[in-house]
Amino acid sequence: MRSRLYLITPPALDLATFTPQLEDALAGGDVACVQFRLKDASDADVLRIGAALKPIVQAADAAFIVNDRPDLAARLDADGVHVGQTDARYAEARAALGRERIVGVTAHNSRHLAMEAAEAGADYVAFGAFYPTQTKDPTDWAEPEILEIWQETMETPCVAIGGITVANAEPLVRAGADFLAVANGVWKHAEGPRAAVTAFNSLFDRLQS
Q: How many CB atoms lie within 10 A of CB 185?
A: 25
Q: What is the pLDDT of residues 136-184, one digit of tens each?
A: 777 789 999 999 999 999 999 999 999 999 999 999 999 999 999 999 9
Stated as kind and residue range, the H or E segment containing 8 is: strand 4-8
Whole-number Cα distances in Å, 113 to 48, 66, 109, 146: 33, 21, 8, 12
Element (H, E) at 149: helix 145-153
Please report the pLDDT score of residue 139 as a whole number.
Answer: 77
Please classify residue 10 by burial: count the beta carbons closer than 10 Å to its beta carbon, then call 0-12 exposed, 13-18 middle and 19+ buried. Answer: middle
Whether the predicted model's global pTM rises above the 0.85 cut: yes
Predicted local confidence at residue 209, as pLDDT: 65
Paired residues of 125 in beta bridges: 105, 158
Q: Which domains does the chain have, with CATH numbers?
A: 4-208 (3.20.20.70)
* Mean of pLDDT over the chain: 96
CA-based nearest residue to 69, from 57, 82, 58: 82
Cα–Cα distance, 10 to 18 (Å, whole number): 9
Residue pLDDT, tens place only, 34-47: 999 998 899 999 99
Q: CB burial class (10 A; 0-12, 13-18, 19+) of residue 91? A: exposed
The three-class DSSP label of residue 127 is strand
